[in-house]
Amino acid sequence: MTKKSKIMMISPVELRDKLKSQERITLLDVREPEEFEICHIDGSILVPLSEFGEHIDDFDQDKEYVIICKEGKVSDQAGSIMTKKGFLRLRGLDGGIINWANSIERTMETY
């Protein structure tokens, strides 16, 4: 990755392991509803980046969040918004939902 990420990334394998261990994490999918309908990780909460600022106060700063987008770039924007609001426990899914589909959920439809 050439661009320095604002938030720490989590690999699909690390995320899968966290989900399997039932670790308490919240998955925030920041794609648009049409994208979410095509594919998403079970348990994800859809909060499109276009509406993100309106919903930021609904989130608990004490929780751990994994931000999901298509390829891992847009999650930085959402992470930046959350960081400015005082959220510290943030990770972005490295490579986004596409990387998840290619490495974990290989039967997942992608776009």
Q: What are 37-89's pLDDT values in tens digits?
A: 999 999 999 999 999 989 999 999 999 999 999 998 899 999 999 999 999 99
Give the span between the Cα atoms of 109 and 111, in whole angstroms: 7
Tell me the whole-structure pTM to 2 decimals.
0.92
pLDDT at 3: 45
Query: Residue 67: how many CA atoms within 13 Å on its side-chain side?
Result: 31
Q: Is the pLDDT of residue 94 over 90?
A: yes
- Domain covering 8-103, topology: Oxidized Rhodanese; domain 1 (3.40.250)
Closest of 105, 83, 111, 110 to residue 15, by C-alpha: 105
Q: Backbone phi, then psi, for 35, in 5-degree steps?
A: -70, -45
Give the span between the Cα atoms of 60 and 77, in whole angstroms: 18
pLDDT at 23: 87
